[in-house]
Amino acid sequence: MSAEVFDELGRLICGLGEQDLSKKSYIRHRVFHLKGIDKSLEKVGEESCEFVIAVKTAM
Closest by Cα among 49, 51, 45 to 31: 45
pLDDT at 49: 93
Region class of 23: left (phi > 0), else alpha (psi between -120 and 50), else beta? beta
Q: Torsion angle of alpha carbons 7, 9, 11, 15, nearest 10°?
A: 180
Q: How many domains does the chain have?
A: 1
pTM exceeding 0.85: no
d(CA 3, CA 34): 30
- 18 is in which domain, residue-wise? 3-58
Give pLDDT, residue 20: 67
4-59, pLDDT tens digit by residue? 888 888 888 777 667 666 677 777 777 777 788 888 888 888 988 999 999 999 88
The DSSP element (H or E) to which 7 belongs, if any, is: helix 3-16
